[in-house]
Structures are given as structure tokens and as C-alpha cells.
Amino acid sequence: MTLPVSRLRATLYWLLVSVTVFYALSAIGGGLGMVVADGLSMPKSLLAATPFTTFAIPGVILLLVVGGTQAWAAWLLIARHESALLWSTVAGFGMVIWIISEIYLIHAFTWIQSIYVIGGLLQLVLVLALLGVAPWLPRQLPWMPRTRNSGGAATRRAGGLDPSVQ
């Protein structure tokens, strides 16, 4: 059994919202922890090959840049703002760049880093699907409301919110 396109689109949209909220909370919490608890018990030896002597500056970057863009994208998605998918893309790329930079700078790789890279890539894939790049999912932005044409058939028009995405 296949899902109707509108149901699939709504599922992908709310999956993007969920992933974005999770990564916003995770980055903000991690950034705060790195600043307040000076690295969350991570050894300072991880910073040896980096330009940093404490975890404070990486923590602020994680908190404000990564967490901030994720939180902003989440808010825009929930508000169904026109720029939500753009900011979700920025947040996804930000997450991927953060983790790849971290791996490069500390010369270490852990399984949790792979989860965050996959999450950032998942955000990008979900945005592409919602934009209609995937041929199996026609382009209909979630905030485009249904309208009735003269024949009574539901159509989409630009702008506004789509009440079917709840």
C-alpha cells in the first residue's frame, strides 16, 4: 500500500521538523555544556592540534552558529515561513561542516559524529524531496494552501499555509 502524495509530503515535512528540533536542542545543549563545563569532561589533549586552548570558543560556535541556525530553521518550519527550507538547508550544511571540521581538527572519529553527519545529510535530502527534486514526489510546498477551482477540484496556489500538513 502506498501513501497518497499529500500524506507522504506531510510525513517528510514533519520528519524534517523533528530532525531539526532534535539537532537544535543537541547543539545548543552541547555548546552550553562545552562553555560552562569546559568541554564536558573531554580531554584537553583533543585540542592539541587545534587553534583553541579551551573548549569555550568551539562551544560558542556550536551553540550560536550550529545550534542557532538549527533553532532558526526549526522555528521557521513550525511557523511555515517561506524561507524555512532555505534555512533548513543552511542548518544541514552547517551540521555537516561542523562535524567534518571537528574530525579534521581533533584527528579523531567516533560513532556519534557519524550520527550527526547522517542527520545533516538527512536534512538536506528531506529539503530536496520537499522541493520536488525527487521525481516520485511532485513539487508542492507544505505551506501552499489548497484552493478550489471552478470545477471543485483542489489545486495549490502560492503563499499561505497548507491546512493538510498538520
pLDDT number for residue 8: 83
Query: pLDDT, tens digit, for every residue of 82-118?
Result: 999 999 999 999 999 999 999 999 988 999 999 999 9
Q: Which three cell numbers stand for residue 72?
A: 532558526
Which pLDDT band holds residue 158 (cuts at 50, 70, 90)?
A: very low
**Total Cβ atoms within 10 A of residue 98:** 22
**Total Cβ atoms within 10 A of residue 67:** 25
3-state secondary structure of 148: strand
